[in-house]
Amino acid sequence: MIKVSDLKKDFPIFDREINGKRLTYLDSGATSQKPELVINEMSNVYSNINANVHRGTYVLSSETTAKYEDVRNKLKEFINAYSSDEIIFTKGCTEGFNFLANSICKDLNPGDEIILSEIEHHANIIPWQMVAEKYNLKIKYINITESFNLDIDHFESLLNSNTKVVSIVGESNMSGMLPDIKKLNSLIREKTNAIYIVDGAQLVPHRKIDVQDLGIDFICVSGHKMLGPTGIGVVWGRKELLEKLDPVYGGGDMIEEVFYETATWAPIPHKFEAGTPPYVEAIGLGAAVDYLTKLDMKNVEKHSDELRLYAKNKLENIDRLNIVHTNSNLAGCTFAMSVEGVHATDVSLMLDTFGVAVRAGHHCVQPFHRKLNLDATFRATGYIYNDEEDFDILSNTIEESIKLLT
């Protein structure tokens, strides 16, 4: 099991006090904190071996290139990919979805359909909207039930021969919902030839993921939500599908040969990685994978599940607090909340005076907020460095904030 008091010592930021109080950080849904292992590994690259990757035959470039490419092997093991060549580095999930939307949809026909859900992050809505307008495609949205879960019957009714892409959140950054990815996959395979994509931004940091077992086609991963640095992410995709896709970005390093009139592409994964890649960030992500692997993702899962049940019980007992959270027995440790008559930003600012960091806003899930007639919520997300005491502090300070603001 994870002993949080010991683990926090690995994270320099937890030595800080905020407004004279110890930092209670509950905003890992927006970004996670970084252990010294990640910080030191990135510092080591800049201090001792920094050189552009894939460009030089000298020692520094060879060392940096080897470290950079080894991260693909770490990620292959981490999500059980078929091959390290299936690991594509991006700037994050947002770039990943833009890459997939633009590369996949250029080969679709007018009237073809894309299925999303009502509770998707903007990163998994806007790129599809843009290509749908460009190629005259249709987007359909799976209903979310009153208990904040996917309506499976509605999803099944949307599937037809025109369905070409299904792209679904793996863990909701608003309600904590964990859809049954394998069940959705079986319905998709039974009724369509659609490409199945999972938004893994919140899922991969908290759950043991096996892409082979899930049967999906692609998953987008955000590095900075899983202890890694910002500016780095991953798209994993089946090799046979990646080989069929054209690159979206052109430039150095993604080519095999260039002529004045034309060019040919490098093999995967490099044909999708134009220009100098974020190699220091990728190496930092590799260190984050090492850290999580040492913890064991099964332990991370167990910690999240137990903490979520404790937090849910505490928060549900607060008068006047409305919680947007799934009623499922399996869910993420994420709670979007509101207080009638008080803006979420005011609650968040009040909590900050107690050293409690939560996010206020629509969390890039504005359409679903609008459906619930909510302008904004404040959100708490627990991670490996949070424990029951953090949620005790959160609960007590929410109660105090409600008294002060109403």
- What's 105's domain CATH number? 3.40.640.10
**Within a domain: 36:** no
**Within a domain: 240:** yes
Do both 169 and 289 map to the same domain? yes
**Within a domain: 43:** no
Cα–chain center distance at 350: 28
169: left (phi over 0), alpha (psi -120 to 50) or beta: beta
Do both 19 and 165 map to the same domain? no
Question: Residue range 233-252: average pLDDT?
Answer: 97
**Within a domain: 32:** no
Q: What is the pLDDT of residues 98-131, one digit of tens each?
A: 999 999 999 999 999 999 999 999 999 999 999 9
Do both 249 and 313 map to the same domain? no
Do both 138 and 243 map to the same domain? yes
Last residue of a domain, one of 269, 294, 319: 294
Whether the CB-CB separation of 7 and 385 falls below 8 Å is answered with: yes
Residue 392 predicted with pLDDT over 70: yes
Do both 187 and 317 map to the same domain? no
Last residue of a domain, one of 265, 294, 323: 294
Residue 213 predicted with pLDDT over 80: yes
**Within a domain: 35:** no
Q: State the Rg of the chain over Cα.
A: 22
H or E element that contains 244: helix 239-244
Do both 307 and 195 map to the same domain? no
Question: Residue range 182-203: average pLDDT?
Answer: 97
Residue type, 24: T
Residue 75 predicted with pLDDT over 70: yes
Polymer length in residues for the chain:
406
> Whose CA is closest to 104, among 158, 156, 166?
166
> Whose CA is closest to 25, among 1, 4, 2, 3?
4
d(CA 121, CA 366): 8
Residue 15 belongs to a domain with what CATH number?
Answer: 3.90.1150.10
Q: What is the 3-state secondary structure (H, E, C) of 13-62?
A: HHHCEECCEECEECECCCCCCCCHHHHHHHHHHHHHHCCCCCCCCCHHHH
How many other C-beta atoms lie within 10 A of the C-beta of residue 236?
28
Do both 150 and 12 map to the same domain? no
Question: Which residues are 334's β-sheet partners?
Answer: 381
**Within a domain: 209:** yes
Residue 2 predicted with pLDDT over 90: no
d(CA 217, CA 400): 47
Predicted confidence at residue 1, as pLDDT, reads 64
Residue 14 predicted with pLDDT over 90: yes
Question: Residue range 21-25: average pLDDT?
Answer: 97
Question: Residue range 204-232: average pLDDT?
Answer: 98
Question: Residue range 64-82: average pLDDT?
Answer: 98
Residue type, 394: L
**Within a domain: 188:** yes
- Is 105 marked active-site? no
H or E element that contains 117: strand 113-117
Residue 55 predicted with pLDDT over 90: no
Catalytic annotation, pick one of 93, 105, 333, 364 = 364
d(CA 369, CA 264): 46
Whether the CB-CB separation of 325 and 173 falls below 8 Å is answered with: no
Phi then psi for 304, rounded to 5 degrees? -60, -45
Do both 309 and 244 map to the same domain? no
Residue 50 predicted with pLDDT over 70: yes
Last residue of a domain, one of 294, 311, 328: 294
**Within a domain: 44:** no
Do both 283 and 360 map to the same domain? no
> Whose CA is closest to 181, among 159, 157, 200?
200
Tokens 């049967």, located at residue: 215
> Whose CA is closest to 173, among 22, 339, 392, 324?
324
Question: Residue range 280-307: average pLDDT?
Answer: 98
What single-letter DSSP state applies at residue 124? G
**Which residue range(s) make up the domain with 62?**
51-294
Do both 163 and 244 map to the same domain? yes
Average pLDDT across the chain, whole number: 97
Do both 142 and 237 map to the same domain? yes
Do both 135 and 242 map to the same domain? yes
Count: domains in the chain: 2
